[in-house]
Amino acid sequence: MTSQAPTNDRFLRALRRQPVDRTPVWLMRQAGRYLPEYRATRAQAGSFLNLAKNPELACEVTLQPLRRFPLDAAILFSDILTVPDAMGLGLYFADGEGPKFERPIRSADDIARLAVPDMETELRYVMDAVRTIRRELNNSVPLIGFSGSPWTLACYMIEGGGSDNYSKVKSLALNDPAAMHQLLGVVTDAVIEYLKAQHLAGAQALQVFDTWGGVLSPAMYREFSLRYLQRIAAELPRGEAEDRAPLILFGKGNDPYLEELATSGAEAVGVDWTIGLGEAARRIDARVALQGNLDPVTLYATPEAIRNEVRIALDDYRDGNAGSREGHVFNLGHGMSPDMNPDHVGVLVQAVHELSAR
Ligand code: CP3
């Protein structure tokens, strides 16, 4: 299924560091509440989870931003917490409070009971969404599949939801590192199976979101997050040559570890806006592609300011990448927010394409 190249293959070519006519761009959380058509489909579904679990509706909201903007990739509409949900933790969304688990991990027994879910039964709805989206995209642009990183999933599984200081998950890592590694091991097995199944269902690139790796000290990051990202990069089967689905490792606050991420075996690293793209490009030294990294808050600024920031980011990357724009995928440094103006997204996408034309 993945063997047919998309008509617009800028994104995949940039991830392979091949020449392209313009820098490709997509945005984390490009489908979501800032779009009135998303809010309408979500209202029809009744809840976010009903939306994510219905392949036809998940496909519809995946395509919505692509109908408005000439984005260079689609991203599966789903959530990183589908995996722990399928492991039996009971995902739900309390109004205005973000994600929560009915049965968070509380004991060694809870960890011992964890097993890798079956991808074509317990997570069938995700694979069906991937297949439906591929069919509807009709090879116009590539489809990105994704997963949370083992550490980031462990944060939600142990905290039971979002957290201010990650005290529960860090306490487990400090007090009982063997138990923490046991949990991270089975979650990593699940992440590898999950990404592999999305690739087999049709996803042409794969991104791991290590949203909370940056809350760790360097020693703990290397032990509890990086090690498992490296395992995924080394072990994930993702095809060969032109059919290979590139793997993007995105992390908030991952800039101290760029060299280690660039030699992990992944094809690309995604960074947030707290590092300049020029410095990041110099440090990864053309070993992988780089994705990022406009501060999402830039989208609240005026169109002139947005264009200016896009130009700065594009040129900074080129200056750090030996004068070449190749190997850059433009994105935000983190996801979009519900109160952003869709027109400003249009300004951003157009600015990337215009200002990067070769
Ligand atoms: O990028 C995309 O367009 C694809 C869709 C996507 C969603 N979640 C949809 C979603 C992706 C890639 C995710 C990943 C995700 N989910 C992450 C990692 C990326 C990141 O932002 O760091 C994390 C940490 C989660 C966990 C999660 N899911 C949170 C914290 C929330 C609440 C967000 C909020 O602002 O309320 C969700 C729910 C969620 N996932 C929404 C969307 C569009 C909002 C749900 C709604 O419609 O109410």
Read off the CATH number of the domain in which 59 is found. Answer: 3.20.20.210
Task: Give the residue from 67, 42, 37 showing the smallest Cα distance to 53.
Answer: 42
**79 labelled binding-site residue:** yes
User: Is 124 annotated as a binding-site member?
Assistant: no
Confirm whether 33 is a catalytic residue. Answer: yes
Which entry of 16, 29, 222, 283 is annotated as an active-site residue?
A: 29
CB-CB neighbours of 11 under 10 Å = 27
Q: Is residue 327 part of a domain?
A: no
Q: Check: CB of residue 74 under 8 Å from CB of residue 138.
A: no
Tens of pLDDT, residue by residue over 105-135, are: 999 999 999 999 999 999 999 999 999 999 9
Tokens of 257: 């570890």
Say if residue 293 is preceded by a cis peptide, omega within 30 of 0.
yes
Q: Which ipTM did the prediction report?
A: 0.92
The answer to whether residue 211 is domain-embedded is yes
In a domain? residue 280: no
Number of domains in the chain: 1
Q: Ligand 1, residues 26, 28, 29: which to mutate, most atoms within 8 A of Cβ?
A: 29
**Residue 68: inside a domain, yes or no?**
no
Distances in Å between the alpha carbon of 99 and those of 27, 79, 85, 208? 22, 10, 11, 19
156 is catalytic: yes
In this prediction, residue 311 carries a pLDDT of: 98
Let me know if residue 345 belongs to a domain: no
Whether 45 has a pLDDT exceeding 90, the answer reads: yes
The answer to whether residue 295 sits within a structural domain is no
| 143 falls within a domain | yes
* pLDDT tops 70 at residue 1: no
**316 in catalytic set:** no
> Measured in angstroms, how far is the CA atom of residue 80 from the centroid of ligand 1?
8
pLDDT for res 94: 86
Q: Is residue 14 part of a domain?
A: no
Kindly indicate the confidence band of residue 3, based on its pLDDT and cuts at 50, 70 and 90.
low
Average pLDDT, the chain: 97
Specify the pLDDT at position 16.
98
Q: Which residues line ligand 1 (CB under 6 A)?
A: 28-33, 42, 48, 75, 77, 79-81, 98-99, 146, 162, 209, 211, 335
Range of the domain at 212: 48-63+73-238
Q: What was the pLDDT predicted at 242?
A: 86
Q: Against a cut of 0.90, is the pTM above it?
A: yes
Residue 238, class by beta-carbon neighbours within 10 Å (0-12 exposed, 13-18 middle, 19+ buried)?
buried
Is residue 2 scored above 70 in pLDDT?
Answer: no
Q: CA 309, 311, 317, 321: dihedral to nearest 10 degrees?
A: -170
Taking the centre of ligand 1 as the mean of its atom positions, its distance from the CA of residue 29, in whole angstroms, is 7
